[in-house]
Structure 1
């Protein structure tokens, strides 16, 4: 009887109020965001606390924060919203066959290749599907996939063993990117020792390619200090073309600049350079909409056609 009563009191409206309090950091701010009186928010949260017999909010300075029990309820609310969205998208796909939306995260260094290849093909096949594309670090992306906030992801770099479905593809070699008139530009391969003596351009730590670079230098017991660090490959390329340093990219990423004659890409003489991988990632048990499933297949086929397939 008690379980049935609790279930009746945990309504979607009350959970939405609790969620908004957590997002806004206070009852008054939540009330303004929702468009109701603060007393209405307080009353609904109080009803939840009374029936659950556990506090859901606690004061922290001028703000209120959600307790562990409150976080569980908010997570439940998010899951319900996600399932409702998925149901709506599935029904929409059933009604219109090729409508709906797909969300994915793409590593910054792979965006251009993704847009020109797989996305162009997918958009031709499913022109009415909305595609939500963002970039971000891998740990955040994995978390979003597990929470159902993102359908799939394309990443580059060491991945570990996350609790998701992964398809990996060879993307090596990693190359040193130099201006054509650089003293080392005529080399077929370049050693880490030679690179350590140069002015280097590093990417931010969350970039997969930087993780590879760091590991290669560490294995050679080298610790060069970069002259520059940036969070856009376009910035790194601009530094190289200005003769200010040597950056690092994979051959696919550097290809258009090499073909234009703006830079030279020389493979790094280290095993990790040639075994660098990119990954397609999705949830283990989540069922895709027809549109998302089609995009996944397009991505797999595109990667297979360009790379060495690795299970």
Structure 2
């Protein structure tokens, strides 16, 4: 069953073999043995990998439910002892790892020091996929289109702001627009991230042409770019909250409605019963999502 699950999760026998450090032939034999046992084809092979057949879908779902039940039982036994142990797995975009997740983990750890965390940095699509496939307890990402098998339980406004040094000429203004940034070196996320899409939509609708000085998928590089004289970074104030709170950077709101239409979201798999540890942590996370940006980041 382990090999079957690995093939489904990695999308091909080759990728599963590389992840498990075994020969492809060993996995193929195990899959063949399973198909003989169940008297059904479980995987359709194609050029880019494999996909589940209807019979394979049933088996995968059953195995996954057994795994969830086992995790839940361990968690409930631990809860009887005061939640002395536990394991929480989270997939999240980098924006959520800068301040929100570390702050919530710190507060949770104060009450439940025996619970361990596994946090996986992923892109938005990968977060959704991990949640849908039951590979993680929950995910944090920028708002996405509705996905079957996934539901949103918490939302936090994602407003894009102009972030810069306090001595930047634009820092004195409290009412900026995209057009005000056109003559300055601008740093933004790379396509196809959600924040970049919001930025591009705002520029297009206002007829403003901005050629970014820096495009990157690294939050830390955007952070460092914001300290360059005359540079402006367009991203959520949540992302660089630590430096903003410390006064090393300032965030100025932008007037365009498109830039305030996004949201960070906590996603869970539909029908999955969370472990006791994950349930408790989600309560902490929900409170963080409900607070103002300043409160959320430790002000």
Q: Same fold (TM over 0.5)?
A: yes
Residue 168 (structure 1) aligned with residue 155 (structure 2): yes
The corresponding residue for 1:187 is 173
The corresponding residue for 2:278 is 292
SS in 2 for 1:185: helix
For the aligned residues, what is the CA RMSD?
3.7
Aligned-partner Cα distance in 2 for 1:40–1:106: 30
The corresponding residue for 2:296 is none
1:50-86 deviation digits (Å, cap 9, x = unpaired): 98476957696xxx954764xx565555434433332
Aligned length: 287
Pairing partner for 2:35 from 37, 48, 65: 48
Pairing partner for 2:75 from 93, 105, 122: 93
Aligned-partner Cα distance in 2 for 1:30–1:253: 32
Where do 5+ consecutive residues of structure 1 fail to align? 1-11
Alpha-carbon distance, 1:113 to partner: 2.0
1:161-184 deviation digits (Å, cap 9, x = unpaired): 333321222243x21122333332
Aligned-partner Cα distance in 1 for 2:168–2:32: 66
Contact 1:104–1:151 (8 Å) recurs in 2: yes
Contact 2:88–2:115 (8 Å) recurs in 1: yes
SS in 1 for 2:291: helix
Where do 5+ consecutive residues of structure 2 fail to align? 294-299
Alpha-carbon distance, 1:41 to partner: 5.2
Aligned-partner Cα distance in 2 for 1:276–1:28: 39
Aligned-partner Cα distance in 2 for 1:31–1:169: 38
SS in 2 for 1:226: coil
Gap change, CA 1:41 and 1:246, over 3 Å in 2: closer
Pairing partner for 1:146 from 121, 132, 141: 132
Aligned-partner Cα distance in 1 for 2:248–2:145: 35
Alpha-carbon distance, 1:28 to partner: 9.7
Q: Normalising by the residue count of structure 1, what TM-score does the alignment of the two structures yield?
A: 0.76
Gap change, CA 1:269 and 1:23, over 3 Å in 2: same
Contact 1:82–1:149 (8 Å) recurs in 2: no
Q: Normalising by the residue count of structure 2, what TM-score does the alignment of the two structures yield?
A: 0.78
